[in-house]
Amino acid sequence: MVTKSPYTLLARSSECKARRGEVATAHGVFQTPVFMPVGTQATVKAVTVENLKDIGAGIILGNTYHLFVRPGHRLIKEFGGLHNFMNWDGSILTDSGGFQIFSLKELAKISEDGAAFRSHLDGSRLFLRPEDAIEVQQALGSDIMMCLDTCIPYPTTREETVKSTALTGRWAQRCRSVHTVRDQLLFGIVQGGMYPELRKESAETMVDIGFDGYAIGGLSVGESKEQMHDMTEATIPHLPDDYAVYLMGVGTPEDLVEGVWRGVDMFDCVMPTRNARNGTLFTSTGKLVIKNARYREDKKPVDSNCSCYTCRNYSRAYLRHLFVSREILAYHLNTIHNLHYYVSLMSSIREAIENDRYSSFRNDFYGRLESK
Ligand SMILES: [Zn+2]
């Protein structure tokens, strides 16, 4: 199937593989490199869609597995799809459900045909074939759908990795063959574990099938940072330069800076939202644990370099008080700040690439972290 790439390259670093571009979907154009806040259950936890727009998020992520088991894709389709259901008119990427199913471990069983698993809610038996993963995502109406893939735990033997990666390839072909809604994009996922030659093979398989974009899966699963960077570097040269590259489930601010350096365009991670609810806030000089006693009387904002709603209006002392008192507002204000930090980081990254000074941006980024 011949497709026109939804990705447009706007600028390229002369110092590394970093690149600045944009991706067009049925719900607009988002700028890359981009961070996608994770909205697991048709909500980015603790914030409204208005908050997300204020923060500057152009695309968010939905979890197919969670929406499939509750409230069900048919119900969401009756509401005109996920955009209408959750009142978000920006772009949405949905994962295939594979990662969550594999996280169920003893509750999941993989065969050639698909994944058998039990619902984490009521234990009911469910079966998801690659074709079903696409049907569910087409019902959700997401702008970017992901193929069902098999997740390879770390560590895994080469032999097992070969088998699992080959199955991901066959499932990708099956996903492609039932993809009928053309204004929904479909991305293929490269696996291959921690073996560079298997990463290359998997990338070539995906490119042969032909997708609207390519993801690097199976990283941030317990391997070292060095291995994660090595596998990213082992994959990207085998993907077409005129398509977006998405590094799945990664990661820390440092991971984003390093991923961009190596040519990644898209990222997602629960870290900013989950950490916000745990009271860990990201700042330009590193992490801040808001419950610490040292912030009890601190009148400063979380980060004096941050222009988010929380930092413009509230002190560390107030946020600490809310958090230790377990007030609901703590989750809301902390999440706004952390998402703003991630989204602004990506905006600064884009600007640095446009001005071809990504290398000095990266040095400054680490310099500020060490200055703490
Ligand atoms: Zn802030």
Q: Which residue numbers are catalytic?
A: 95, 268
pLDDT band at 213 (very low <50, low <70, confident <90, very high): very high
Tell me, in angstroms, the distance from the centre of ligand 1 to residue 352's CA: 21
Tell me, in angstroms, the distance from the centre of ligand 1 to residue 268's CA: 20
Neighbour count for residue 224 (Cβ, 10 Å): 10
pLDDT at 97: 86
pLDDT at 120: 87
pLDDT over 70, % of the chain: 99
Tell me, in angstroms, the distance from the centre of ligand 1 to residue 293's CA: 20
Burial of 350 (0-12, 13-18, 19+ CB in 10 A): buried
Q: 1 pLDDT exceeds 70?
A: no
Per residue in 122-165, pLDDT tens? Answer: 989 999 999 999 999 999 999 999 999 998 999 999 999 999 99
Cα separations in angstroms, 204 against 125, 140, 177, 185: 35, 29, 18, 19
Residue length, the chain?
A: 372
Neighbour count for residue 308 (Cβ, 10 Å): 23
d(CA 190, CA 180): 22
Tell me, in angstroms, the distance from the centre of ligand 1 to residue 286's CA: 13
The answer to whether 111 and 31 are in contact (CB under 8 A) is no
The answer to whether 14 and 356 are in contact (CB under 8 A) is yes
Tell me, in angstroms, the distance from the centre of ligand 1 to residue 282's CA: 9
Lowest mean pLDDT among 16-25, 81-90, 97-106, 351-360: 97-106
d(CA 67, CA 55): 25
Structure tokens at 144: 């970017």
Strand partners, 144: 93, 185
> What's the chain's average pLDDT?
96
Average pLDDT for 264-290: 98
Tell me, in angstroms, the distance from the centre of ligand 1 to residue 306's CA: 5
Q: 69 pLDDT exceeds 90?
A: yes
d(CA 79, CA 192): 38
Neighbour count for residue 183 (Cβ, 10 Å): 9
Tell me, in angstroms, the distance from the centre of ligand 1 to residue 303's CA: 6
Q: 2 pLDDT exceeds 70?
A: no
d(CA 153, CA 48): 34
pLDDT at 12: 98
Q: Which residues, 6+ apart, have CB-to-CB distance to 27 below 8 Å?
A: 83, 89, 90, 91, 92, 143
Structure tokens at 183: 């204004």
Among 42, 165, 21, 164, CA closest to 94: 42
Average pLDDT for 337-355: 98
Lowest mean pLDDT among 114-118, 332-336, 363-367: 114-118
Tell me, in angstroms, the distance from the centre of ligand 1 to residue 326's CA: 20
Strand, helix or coil for residue 301: coil
Strand partners, 28: 25
d(CA 323, CA 314): 13
Q: 93 pLDDT exceeds 80?
A: yes
Largest CA distance in the chain: 62
**DSSP track, 119-183:** -TTT--EEEE-HHHHHHHHHHHT-SEEE-------SS--HHHHHHHHHHHHHHHHHHHHT---TT
d(CA 111, CA 105): 14
Tokens 């770390």, located at residue: 154
Which strand ranges, in their side-by-side order, compose the sheet holding 7-12?
7-12, 19-25, 28-32
Tell me, in angstroms, the distance from the centre of ligand 1 to residue 214's CA: 32
Per residue in 3-55, pLDDT tens? Answer: 689 999 999 999 999 999 999 999 999 999 999 999 999 999 999 999 999 99
pLDDT band at 217 (very low <50, low <70, confident <90, very high): very high
